[in-house]
Amino acid sequence: MSPASGFSGWRQLDYRTAQEIKKTVLDQLSEEGKQRGWPSVQAKEQRGRHLINEQVAIWADAQGWSTGGAVDQAAEQEMAALAFDMCFRAGRLQRYLDDQQVEDIWLEGFERVFLKSTGRREPVQVARVADSEDELQELVRDLIRASGQNGRTFSTHSPDVELRLPDGSRLQALGPEITGGHTHVTIRRHRYRSISIRHLIELGTLSEQAADLLASAVRARFNIMVAGEQSSGKTTLLRALLREVKPSERFGTLETTFEGLADPTYHAHVVPMEARFSNGERIGPSHAAAGEITLMDLMVKAKRMSLTRTIVGEVRGPEITAMMQAMTSDRPGNMCTIHASEPAAVFDRVAELYLLAQANFTPELAYRQIANGLHLIAFLSVDDTGEAEHRHLSHIWEITGIGHDGRPMYNEVFGPADDIDGPAVPKGALSERKRRRLEKAGLASNLLSAQALAYAQGRPM
């Protein structure tokens, strides 16, 4: 049964029984691990499955004695599966993670669970995954343990955590100390972990002409910033663009939480780097966060790794300064994503992050580095005016220099047909120098030349 249609599932008593089986099995596995260790995760899970089956058999016998009737085999299998999910996966949450149509999962306290599915505008409320706030918070801690990211905690003293789940989903949890009421958990799925430009064309995200330009820009080593609204598909587009990088290139990906930007089976020499959160302690006279490794730290380390490109999953803090410095001083071909409400807001968003980085940084410096280092901005929008949401590329801007007012100048190479919203169509010519670079890198479309655009505006092509 699909989660979106509701899940009749287990009785309350069975959940409690599964929790008891989980505790018994994990305690025994812990004791056995102390005595002999575990050669692999698979060996531990195999032993755990055996112990679960033993406990389920004991439960089934007890049920038979108390009710006077045998527990059927299907019920035993369901109990064993639930107990296994509680021990080694995501408990009752797992059935929603297994549904490939689910894009977002929202836990608003333990009683309210909503799924946002592919193409649907409105979320659907489904069966709960915990029976109390304590159980929900324990679920978050279970997910931390299952992820292997043991440096992260979720408690009264540390009431927020960002986490990468084993399937690549991204979790953000906020405790009641922050929300003032209930624990809130948001899980964002990545449906397209291995995707190409061609796939995005088939999905309607990009046109053939826009895809031709962006793919050529990657091969021509343009510095590209992918901007857009939240959940507009920025990471998905970045993944697709990386497929245009030669498999033999050695480049680095920098992420706050790993989202699998590059496919290591395709790129043999990719160097993935992930920031590390503090353990909550402060050390030294500067009260630095103990154990913390920031994206800014990783940007410095990346310069010593013989990388041809630096790819940042999302710039949202002081690392913007290092990112822009890489674009102006290092070998070109770097890419990143950034949140912005509209294309015109990107410049001020970068300037805002500059001001947050250091007191002596100014918007003028930010604008100058954008003009000197950034080649293209690709902007993604979400159209939710109909019955279903649709993500699409709405703009491609070519950065052309600095204006008299000190702000970056640009050509709108692609934009909405009605100048308001909608999928990107050719709107303006590329500068001659950049167009020649793109053509050398394989740009096939002639729609981006001044002559072709003038012809298109004068009469049908």
Same domain, 51 and 135: yes
Reading phi first (left if > 0) and then psi (alpha if -120 to 50, else beta), residue 299 is in alpha
Q: Last residue of some domain: 156, 188, 220? A: 188
CA distance 346 to 377: 9
Supply 390's token pair: 């649709």
Range of the domain at 31: 3-188
CA geometry: angle at 14 spanning 12 and 15, to 5°?
65
Same domain, 107 and 210: no
How is residue 4 annotated by DSSP?
A: G
Instruction: Over range 110-119, report the average pLDDT.
Output: 89
Q: Last residue of some domain: 125, 155, 188? A: 188
Question: CATH no. for residue 227?
Answer: 3.40.50.300
CA distance 324 to 309: 13
For strand 124-126 and strand 113-117, is the pairing parallel, antiparallel, or unpaired? antiparallel
Question: CATH no. for residue 42?
Answer: 3.30.450.90
Question: What are φ and ψ of residue 354, in 5° steps?
Answer: -60, -45
Q: Per the confidence metrics, is the pTM higher than 0.75? A: yes
Same domain, 171 and 249: no
Q: What is the pLDDT of residue 10?
A: 42
Same domain, 170 and 254: no
Q: Is 253 helix (H, G, I), strand (E, B) or coil?
A: strand
Q: What is the pLDDT of residue 162?
A: 87
Query: What mean pLDDT, rounded, does the chain reach?
Result: 86
Q: What is the pLDDT of residue 122?
A: 82
- The number of domains in the chain is 2
Instruction: Over range 246-257, report the average pLDDT.
Output: 91
Same domain, 14 and 40: yes
How is residue 302 annotated by DSSP?
A: H
The upper half-sphere exposure of residue 322, i.e. CA atoms within 13 Å in the direction of its Cβ, equals 20
Same domain, 245 and 275: yes
Mention every residue, 6+ apart, whose C-beta is less than 8 A from residue 80. 49, 52, 53, 56
Q: What is the pLDDT of residue 22?
A: 93
For strand 335-339 and strand 224-228, is the pairing parallel, antiparallel, or unpaired? parallel
- From the number of C-beta atoms within 10 Å of its C-beta (0-12, 13-18, 19+), residue 100 rates as exposed
Same domain, 181 and 42: yes
Same domain, 108 and 207: no
Question: What are φ and ψ of residue 432, in 5° steps?
Answer: -60, -40
- From the number of C-beta atoms within 10 Å of its C-beta (0-12, 13-18, 19+), residue 441 rates as middle
Same domain, 111 and 180: yes
Same domain, 181 and 300: no
Q: How many helices (H) does the chain have, and how many strands (E)?
A: 15, 17
Same domain, 102 and 221: no
pLDDT digits (tens, 9 = 90+) for 201-248: 999 999 999 999 999 999 999 999 999 988 888 999 999 999 999 999
Mention every residue, 6+ apart, whose C-beta is less than 8 A from residue 231. 103, 104, 188, 382
Same domain, 308 and 330: yes
Looking at the predicted structure, is the pLDDT value of residue 118 above 50?
yes
Q: What is the pLDDT of residue 12?
A: 47
